[in-house]
Amino acid sequence: MRLIERQLQTTVNRLVKWCDQNGHTISPSKSSCVHFCRKRNLHPDPSIHIGNIQIPVVSEVRFFGVIFDSKSTFLPHVRNLRKKVSLLRVYQALTLSRLDYGCVVYGFARASVLKRLDTIHHSALSLSGAFRTSPVTSLYVVCHQPPLELRRRQLSANYFIRAMSVPFHPLKPFSLAIGLTRLYEARSFNIKPFSERAKAVLNDAHLNNINIQENNILAFLPWDIRIFNFSNPFSGFDKTGTAAIIYQQHFSYHRNKFSKYIPVYTDGTKTVGHVGCGVVFNNTTFSVLAYIILCLSLVQN
């Protein structure tokens, strides 16, 4: 424990130093420490400090809506989640979204803990108008909803594939050492890392040999894009009180001043149910027609 404590304290000191250099402050009163351990005998908690103030050690903490407990059972999270969703009636919009949130993290808890959520799932499905005596499997078919176990596995696999498609994602180079793999196989009650659990899900679905294409979202890195200047010669005129000839004169002056540049003309339009935009330059014309549900700013840009 002393070695772990020193390593954590060194990391906290580096984080505090970085925050001080970049104008940030870590509040000790809003910080907490959770000692993740399943030992039953005497096992002292670590003593971590922010400055001269010790971080309080708690048995559970909420992080991004998921409650982590010191035993890693996720029982407090399931209890809190069950308490929240037991009164909800709109299944698709509220209940299922709450059950899905964070399931990538807590979805591999013990089956006895996760089984507490199945009653909420079955109660919500029974609102479809089925008979009270209908089997649970029949409810799944009628409502077109898979069991929560399969849904959690599917969402975990989706997240893993999406993470593998992102270049330089922290999960991408992660690989469990052979010694740790044998240790997890010998102690099946231990929870494996997320990447290993997701690989097992893909292996069960015979998708372990798929080639995941990288999706380079930031093809143009924001910090590498050059800042460009632009001018708007018409910004000082009121559209309602300015004659059209004045706009034409300023446009002619602008085109004469920048005659060496290629002019590009754009315009957007909006009708009932549709939006459209057009681009004209040289001898090329582009036009796009989209439904109104699409973002209008894309047309305006």
Q: What is the DSSP string of the chain?
A: -HHHHHHHHHHHHHHHHHHHHTT----GGG--EE------S--PPP--EETTEEPPEESEEEETTEEEETTS--HHHHHHHHHHHTT---IIIIIHHHHHTTHHHHTTS-HHHHHHHHHHHHHHHGGGS--TT--HHHHHHHHT---HHHHHHHHHHHHHHHHHTSTT-TTTT----HHHHHHHHH-TTSPPPHHHHHHHHHHHTT-TT--PPP--TTSS-GGGSPP-----TTTTS-TTTS-HHHHHHHHHHHHHHTTTSPPEEEEEEEETTEEEEEEEETTEEEEEEEETTS-HHHHH-
Enter the pTM of the model. 0.55
Cα separation, 86 vs 89, whole angstroms: 8
Query: pLDDT at position 294, please?
Result: 47
Query: pLDDT at position 217, please?
Result: 65
**Cβ–Cβ under 8 Å, residues 118 and 85:** no
Query: pLDDT at position 91, please?
Result: 72
Q: What is the chain's pLDDT, residue by residue, as a tens digit (301 residues)? A: 788 888 888 998 999 899 888 888 888 888 889 888 888 777 788 888 888 888 888 888 888 878 888 888 888 888 887 776 655 456 767 778 888 888 888 887 888 888 888 888 887 777 765 667 778 888 787 777 888 888 888 898 888 888 888 887 887 777 777 777 787 777 777 777 778 888 888 888 888 788 888 877 666 666 777 777 778 888 888 888 888 898 889 889 888 988 888 888 888 888 777 788 899 988 888 888 775 544 444 444 4
Query: pLDDT at position 84, please?
Result: 63
Query: pLDDT at position 145, please?
Result: 80
Query: pLDDT at position 131, please?
Result: 65
Three-point CA angle 297, 300, 301, nearest 5°:
85
